[in-house]
């Protein structure tokens, strides 16, 4: 469907990758850890390795959670945009197929949030 | 399914007469007192009659005067010189 | 207030002073005078069928509005002269006003602009007059709200630049984009969105139980402007209902168009009201009723009666109403959690509920609070007590449509986010729900251009790359005064000193550690 308008109503998407100065957006959802109210929105370099992303971006973001010390993200179960995904720590995000505004879901089995409440 | 109409007034001096008049003309209506407001609900229909209001106030009363003290309503409105009616048909 | 000299009855007076003041154009085509009336596909065959049940004419309008204003300003004066701010239940309450002034009052002004605009676009005189009165009402609401809160601005932080913040601050893009969406639609969609879906179906939830709560917390200035505004709202709601009935009666082709608008605007309004849910459950120290109870009375009961009445036109209750009804047990907690963890970027303070407040929440939300939210809150309270007040230092993902962080959970599984994602013309888009995703799919051109605050920060369009610069320079939030935790804040200390209590207890030691 499209907008019913008085004129030819067409606009560029505001969040195209070229507007991010060489960086790209990456969302990360850690299920059963709703203390973080929504998936994170992170600004990342497409050529950073997946391992560096986990160490330098994801771990600091999740560090305050009591489950964080036990969370082995690299060994966890991952999804990329809803599809099963096997990360390669040494590959770049781009080479892993992670494009702009992709969402990663990382499930750490056995960790179910504060007092098991999914928080 | 129950279909309630309602009207809410500021809890002030004017509204007390309105509530009295409504209670008299709508014996089935339920009057709820909440902080700073009075809410009245009834099944399908509520009426405010000018005549009853004038009796309560001891003066002429214009139906549109209720606009000053009303907070909210639910239901189809039917207003003329003699009454204000809320109803679901 | 007796109306003397009653020569005309109400119906005749309305007829003469409204319809008979209009005229049929002779030297210009109607189509050229009202060029925006047709493009939405709404078919109007007879404007004379338009009913204004209040039959309010301009002369009576001015008379009653003047009366309301006199009463209202008498109370504002009394409130200021008596230092009414010292008599509220607790200064935490003032934070609801900060949200109101920056989130709601600018919407009143947007509504004024919206009605002034659509009031020019209808060829029916009755509709034009009703829109004109409503435009003036909305301007009045915006002004009286600012006047009422100017007193608080003298004594508390965070109220100093509401209009500027409304245009820029991340969470204020939620109400702002809601109204921008409505105002950029055609005139009939605007009325369905604002007069019907918002005013008739949903604003009671803001102006009735919340304002009653303001009274219960000692804020007579706010309750008075709230109820005074809502007294106009009774007229607006009636207009909203009449608009819908009028459009539906005019032509059967209008029914599916209106149904889609009702679906869209119910969902958008419901999402916007998450903020009000949180104000009621968390920001009123003295509780009147819970958000869930308010939703039951003002949506399920009153809205139920309304949609039953509309059945005869072929209108059904809004799509995803079942999800909204279920969410009454969750949204206030989810919204408060969100603001608590991003308080470094808000013009108001947040806090964890005290023990009795948590118990009240458990009682009001027996199936959800203890199971899903209490453990999180107790953890945060403990962290705070130990000097580690929690803040989330990573920005949140936002919904492309409602612009709220994607914080909402599945009806069937409150431990899982109801996130949705689609690819449209090669770009990925993320949503908080099926409701918002459907809205996007229907009008993607409208939402691909959304100004999402998080993305704008990352694009470098907000005067800085770090949150602190954005918050202070771009948002005009005074760091350490307006934002962060309530306990130990300047507002908190001021309140303790008003109440003659010392502020050197645990409050100070626990203040703003994560800052």
Per-residue model confidence (pLDDT) at position C202: 82
Closest partner CB to C10 (pick from B4, B77, B80): B80
| Rg, C-alpha atoms of chain A | 17
Q: What's CA C503's distance to the chain center, in Å?
A: 35
Interface size, chain A vs chain C, as Cβ–Cβ contacts under 8 Å: 150
Least confident of B39-53, C48-62, C370-384: C48-62
Per-residue model confidence (pLDDT) at position C280: 95
For C64, which residue in chain B has the nearest alpha carbon? B68
Closest CA to C407 of A29, A73, A112: A29
Taking CB atoms and an 8 Å limit, are B78 and C68 in contact across chains?
no
What is the band of C515 on the pLDDT scale with cuts at 50, 70, 90? Answer: very low
**Separation CA C308–CA C318 (nearest Å):** 12
Q: Does B59 touch chain C (CB under 8 A)?
A: yes
For B80, which residue in chain C has the nearest alpha carbon? C10
Closest partner CB to B35 (pick from C6, C68, C216): C216
C274-290 pLDDT, tens digit per residue, is 999 999 999 999 998 99
- In this prediction, residues C291-312 reach a mean pLDDT of 95
Within 8 A of B35 by CB-CB distance, chain C residues are 212-213, 215-216, 288
Per-residue model confidence (pLDDT) at position C463: 96
Closest partner CB to A14 (pick from C341, C394, C449): C449
ipTM: 0.98
Within 8 A of A61 by CB-CB distance, chain C residues are 393-394
The total of other beta-carbon atoms located within 10 Å of residue C252's CB is 11
Residue A91 reports pLDDT greater than 50: yes
Q: Does C371 touch chain B (CB under 8 A)?
A: no
The larger pLDDT score, comparing residue A4 to residue C508, is at: A4
Closest partner CB to A37 (pick from C388, C407, C443): C407
DSSP annotation string for B6-62? EEEEESSHHHHHHHHHHHHH-TT-EEEEETTEEEEEEESEEEEEHHHHHHHHTS---
Residue-range domain boundaries for chain A: 28-116
- In this prediction, residues C312-333 reach a mean pLDDT of 97
* Residue A61 CA neighbour count, 13 Å, CB half: 24
- In this prediction, residues C19-40 reach a mean pLDDT of 93
**Separation CA C78–CA C326 (nearest Å):** 42
Residue entry with tokens 């700073």: B36
Q: Which residues contact C374 (CB under 8 A, 6 or more apart)?
A: A117, C358, C361, C362
Here the CATH number for the domain that contains residue C115 is 1.10.620.20
Taking CB atoms and an 8 Å limit, are A119 and C425 in contact across chains?
no
What is the band of C507 on the pLDDT scale with cuts at 50, 70, 90? Answer: very low
Q: Does C395 touch chain A (CB under 8 A)?
A: yes
Residue C11 within any structural domain of the chain: no
Closest partner CB to A103 (pick from C396, C430, C446): C430
Per-residue model confidence (pLDDT) at position C512: 45
**Separation CA C196–CA C238 (nearest Å):** 9
Give just the sign of the alpha carbon dihedral C488, C489, C495, C497.
positive
Tell me, letter by letter, the H, E, C secondary structure of C380-441: HHHHHHCCCCCCCCCCECECCCCCCECCCECCCCCCCECCEEEEECCEEEEECCHHHHHHHH
Within 8 A of B67 by CB-CB distance, chain C residues are 54, 56, 64, 231, 234-235
What is the band of C509 on the pLDDT scale with cuts at 50, 70, 90? Answer: very low
Per-residue model confidence (pLDDT) at position B23: 96
Pick the residue of C234, C287, C289 with the most B CBs within 10 A to test the interface with B by mutation.
Answer: C234
What is the band of A10 on the pLDDT scale with cuts at 50, 70, 90? Answer: very high
| Angle value at C-alpha C404, between C483 and C172, nearest 5 degrees | 50
Residue C398's DSSP bridge partners are C405
Residues 291-320 of C with CB under 8 A from A: none
Per-residue model confidence (pLDDT) at position C207: 83
Closest partner CB to B67 (pick from C6, C211, C231): C231
Residue C355 is part of which domain span? 53-316+325-395+452-514
Q: Does C376 touch chain A (CB under 8 A)?
A: yes
**Separation CA A76–CA A109 (nearest Å):** 7
C133-184 pLDDT, tens digit per residue, is 999 999 999 999 999 999 999 999 999 999 999 999 999 999 999 999 999 9
Within 8 A of B77 by CB-CB distance, chain C residues are 53-54, 238, 241
**Architecture of the domain whose range is A28-116:** Roll (3.10)
Taking CB atoms and an 8 Å limit, are A35 and C379 in contact across chains?
yes
**Distance, in angstroms, between A66 CA and closest chain C CA?**
9
Per-residue model confidence (pLDDT) at position C2: 58
| Chain C and chain A touch, per 3+ beta carbon pairs within 8 A | yes
Interface size, chain B vs chain C, as Cβ–Cβ contacts under 8 Å: 108
Q: Does B28 touch chain C (CB under 8 A)?
A: no
Percent of chain C with pLDDT over 70: 96
Residue C46 within any structural domain of the chain: no
| Chain B and chain C touch, per 3+ beta carbon pairs within 8 A | yes
Residue C447 within any structural domain of the chain: no
Q: Does C72 touch chain B (CB under 8 A)?
A: no
State the average pLDDT for chain A: 97
C442-476 pLDDT, tens digit per residue, is 999 999 999 999 999 999 999 998 999 999 999 99
**Distance, in angstroms, between C410 CA and closest chain B CA?**
28
Q: Give chain B's length.
A: 89
Residue C97 within any structural domain of the chain: yes
Pick the residue of B4, B5, B7, B8 with the most C CBs within 10 A to test the interface with C by mutation.
Answer: B8
Q: Does B13 touch chain C (CB under 8 A)?
A: no
| Angle value at C-alpha C34, between C30 and C35, nearest 5 degrees | 105
SS3 content of chain A, % helix, strand, coil (to 5): 20, 20, 55
What is the band of C5 on the pLDDT scale with cuts at 50, 70, 90? Answer: low
Pick the residue of C379, C409, C426, C465 with the most A CBs within 10 A to test the interface with A by mutation.
Answer: C379
Within 8 A of A54 by CB-CB distance, chain C residues are none
Taking CB atoms and an 8 Å limit, are C231 and B69 in contact across chains?
yes
State the average pLDDT for chain C: 93
**Separation CA C452–CA C462 (nearest Å):** 12
| CB distance C157 to C97 below 8 Å | no
Per-residue model confidence (pLDDT) at position C314: 97
- Alpha carbon dihedral C153, C155, C158, C160, in 10-degree steps, equals 30
What is the band of C326 on the pLDDT scale with cuts at 50, 70, 90? Answer: very high
What is the band of C230 on the pLDDT scale with cuts at 50, 70, 90? Answer: confident
User: Chains near C, with 3+ CB pairs < 8 A?
Assistant: A, B
For C185, which residue in chain A has the nearest alpha carbon? A5
Closest partner CB to A4 (pick from C40, C417, C444): C40
pTM of the model: 0.95
Closest partner CB to C231 (pick from B36, B68, B77): B68
Least confident of A65-69, C237-241, C278-282: C237-241
Least confident of C252-256, C488-492, C498-502: C498-502
Per-residue model confidence (pLDDT) at position C162: 96
Strand, coil or helix: what is B77? strand
The larger pLDDT score, comparing residue C355 to residue C54, is at: C355
- Residue C494 to residues C79, C86, C90, C482, Cα–Cα distance (Å): 19, 10, 11, 13
| CB distance C176 to C106 below 8 Å | yes
Q: What's the structural domain count of chain C?
A: 1
Q: Does C52 touch chain B (CB under 8 A)?
A: no
Closest CA to A84 of A70, A72, A97: A97
Residue C6 reports pLDDT greater than 60: no
Question: What backbone phi and psi angles, to 5 degrees, belong to C34?
Answer: -125, 70
Give just the sign of the alpha carbon dihedral C54, C57, C58, C59.
negative
Closest partner CB to B62 (pick from C1, C53, C308): C1
Per-residue model confidence (pLDDT) at position C513: 45
Residue C427 within any structural domain of the chain: no
Percent of chain B with pLDDT over 90: 91
User: Chains near A, with 3+ CB pairs < 8 A?
Assistant: C
Closest CA to C313 of C365, C393, C242, C372: C242
| CB distance A92 to A9 below 8 Å | no
**Separation CA C388–CA A66 (nearest Å):** 13
Q: Does B72 touch chain C (CB under 8 A)?
A: yes
Per-residue model confidence (pLDDT) at position C234: 86
- Residue A66 to residues A53, A113, C176, C380, C417, Cα–Cα distance (Å): 21, 8, 36, 11, 20
Taking CB atoms and an 8 Å limit, are C212 and B35 in contact across chains?
yes
């Amino acid at each position: 469907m499209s907008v019913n308008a008085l004129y030819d109503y067409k606009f560029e998407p505001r969040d195209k990758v070229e507007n991010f100065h060489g960086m790209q957006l990456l969302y990360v959802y850690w299920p059963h850890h709703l203390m973080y109210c929504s998936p994170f929105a992170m600004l990342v370099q497409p050529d950073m390795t997946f391992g560096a992303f986990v160490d330098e971006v994801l771990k600091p973001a999740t560090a305050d959670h009591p489950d964080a010390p036990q969370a082995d993200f690299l060994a966890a179960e991952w999804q990329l945009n809803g599809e099963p995904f096997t990360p390669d720590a040494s590959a770049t995000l781009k080479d892993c197929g992670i494009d702009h505004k992709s969402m990663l879901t990382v499930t750490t089995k056995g960790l179910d949030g504060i007092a098991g409440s999914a928080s | 399914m129950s279909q309630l109409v309602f009207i809410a007034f500021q809890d002030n001096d004017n509204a007390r007469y309105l509530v009295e008049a409504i209670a008299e003309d709508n014996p089935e209506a339920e009057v709820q007192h909440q902080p700073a407001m009075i809410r009245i609900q009834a099944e399908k229909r509520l009426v405010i009659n000018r005549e009853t209001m004038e009796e309560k106030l001891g003066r002429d009363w214009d139906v549109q005067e209720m606009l000053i003290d009303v907070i909210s309503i639910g239901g189809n409105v039917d207003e003329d010189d003699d009454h204000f009616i809320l109803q679901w048909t | 207030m007796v109306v003397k000299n009653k020569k005309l009855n109400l119906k005749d007076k309305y007829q003469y002073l409204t319809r008979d003041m209009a005229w049929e154009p002779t030297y210009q085509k109607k189509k050229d005078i009202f060029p925006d009336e047709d493009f939405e596909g709404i078919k109007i065959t007879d404007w004379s069928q338009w009913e204004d049940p209040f039959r309010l004419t301009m002369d009576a309008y001015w008379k009653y509005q003047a009366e309301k204003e006199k009463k209202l300003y008498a109370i504002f004066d009394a409130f200021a002269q008596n230092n009414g701010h010292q008599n509220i239940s607790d200064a935490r309450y003032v934070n609801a006003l900060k949200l109101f002034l920056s989130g709601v009052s600018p919407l009143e002004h947007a509504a004024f602009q919206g009605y002034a605009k659509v009031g020019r676009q209808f060829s029916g005189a009755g509709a034009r007059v009703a829109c004109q009165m409503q435009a003036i009402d909305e301007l009045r609401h915006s002004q009286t709200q600012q006047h009422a809160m100017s007193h608080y601005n003298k004594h508390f932080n965070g109220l100093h630049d509401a209009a500027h913040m409304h245009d820029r601050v991340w969470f204020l893009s939620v109400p702002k984009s809601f109204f921008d969406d409505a105002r950029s639609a055609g005139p009939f969609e605007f009325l369905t969105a604002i007069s019907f879906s918002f005013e008739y179906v949903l604003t009671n939830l803001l102006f009735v139980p919340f304002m009653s709560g303001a009274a219960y917390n000692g804020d007579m200035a706010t309750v008075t402007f709230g109820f005074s505004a809502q007294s106009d709202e009774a007229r607006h709601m009636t207009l909203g209902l009449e608009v819908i009935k009028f459009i539906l009666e005019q032509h059967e082709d209008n029914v599916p168009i209106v149904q889609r608008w009702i679906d869209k605007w119910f969902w958008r309004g419901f999402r916007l009201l998450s903020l009000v849910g949180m104000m009621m459950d968390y920001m009123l120290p003295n509780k009147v009723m819970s958000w869930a109870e308010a939703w039951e009375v003002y949506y399920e009961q009153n809205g139920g009666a309304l949609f039953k009445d509309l059945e005869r036109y072929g209108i059904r209750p809004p799509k995803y109403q079942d999800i909204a009804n279920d969410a009454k047990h969750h949204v206030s907690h989810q919204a408060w959690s969100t603001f608590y963890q991003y308080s470094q970027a808000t013009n108001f303070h947040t806090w964890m509920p005290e023990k009795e407040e948590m118990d009240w929440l458990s009682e009001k939300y027996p199936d959800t609070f203890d199971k899903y939210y209490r453990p999180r809150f107790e953890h945060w309270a403990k962290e705070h007590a130990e000097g580690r007040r929690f803040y989330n230092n990573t920005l949140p993902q936002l919904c492309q449509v409602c612009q709220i962080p994607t914080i909402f959970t599945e009806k069937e599984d409150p431990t899982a986010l109801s996130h949705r994602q689609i690819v449209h013309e090669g770009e990925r888009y993320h949503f908080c729900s099926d409701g918002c995703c459907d809205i996007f799919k229907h009008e993607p051109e409208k939402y691909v251009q959304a100004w999402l605050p998080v993305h704008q920060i990352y694009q470098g369009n907000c005067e800085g790359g770090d949150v602190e610069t954005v918050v202070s320079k771009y948002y005009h939030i005074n760091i350490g005064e307006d934002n962060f935790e309530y306990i130990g804040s300047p507002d908190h200390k001021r309140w303790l000193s008003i109440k003659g209590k010392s502020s050197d207890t645990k409050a100070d030691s626990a203040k703003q550690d994560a800052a």
